[in-house]
Amino acid sequence: MVIVVAGEGADPMNDNRVMVGFYMSNDKMVKDGNGNIATDYTFRIAPHAKYEGILPARTVNGKIISTAPADIMLRDPAYNRDLELLRAQVSLEMKPDGSLIGHVGGYRPWEPVYKGWVNARGTVIEVLTWVQLPAVYYALRRNADYSPTGPSGEKTHISFALRIEALPAFVMIPDASKEVASVESYKAIAPKEPDRPALGTYVVDGIVPDRSGKFQAGPNAVILPPSTSSGAKRQ
């Protein structure tokens, strides 16, 4: 993921009109001779129909602060894939070496977080991490604190913050013909998102069905007797 910060004033450290853009890139990070992620590497923006976030902000003494919330969708590095943030805001700080640190936060749907754990073979996660998934479900539901329909609506979203650590880089427009000079949306030229299988194991009501099986059992399914090869004896 690449982050672009562009303003209109002469002083980038103090600018009342700034835009912050979060974009995807298909270019891989590389390491320097010390084994650290290399700075000043070049990345091309990869237009994506879903994963893009643009937020208005301002800079005050090198700190990038949102001026208005925005609804964005980013790539979740965890099991859920989608990081939908309603009323998102950023709080970032520019360091002397050109790096950025801070957070992007907002309200995200809590139920996909739980389902992401379950669909990633929940029983294995419970065994390896000692996490009790029913407890996760009730903890998320109990602490949900935002309803898109208003204060009296069902709390379907929960407060969330993603820690940001970014290094200075050259960000190019999608065709790599020039460096990005402004923050704008590239969704209109993004390829259609292909259908993809669900991440992890396919789970239905806590059961992992064999989708390649000839018969799918149900409440009224007939249990067939086991087949016997010719000449086999039956006890």
Give the number of domains in the chain. 1
Q: pLDDT band for 51, please (50, 70, 90 cuts).
A: very high
Residue 27 counted as domain residue: yes
Residue 51 counted as domain residue: yes
The fraction of the chain above a pLDDT of 70, given in percent, is 82
Q: Over the stretch 17-38, which tens digit does the pLDDT of each residue have? A: 999 999 999 999 999 999 999 9
Q: Provide the 3-class DSSP secondary structure of residue 85.
A: strand
The fraction of the chain above a pLDDT of 90, given in percent, is 71
Residue 164 counted as domain residue: yes
Residue 209 counted as domain residue: no
Residue 77 counted as domain residue: yes
Residue 175 counted as domain residue: yes
pTM of the model: 0.80
Structural domain for 33, as ranges: 2-109+144-181
Q: Over the stretch 68-125, which tens digit does the pLDDT of each residue have? A: 999 999 998 887 889 999 999 999 999 999 999 999 999 999 999 999 888 888 888 8
Q: For 51-195, list the strands marked E by DSSP.
A: 53-60, 63-66, 70-75, 82-94, 100-109, 157-166, 169-172
The region of weakest confidence among 8-12, 107-111, 195-199 is 195-199
In this prediction, residue 209 carries a pLDDT of: 64
Q: Which of 173, 218, 183, 210 is nearest to 72 (CA)?
A: 183
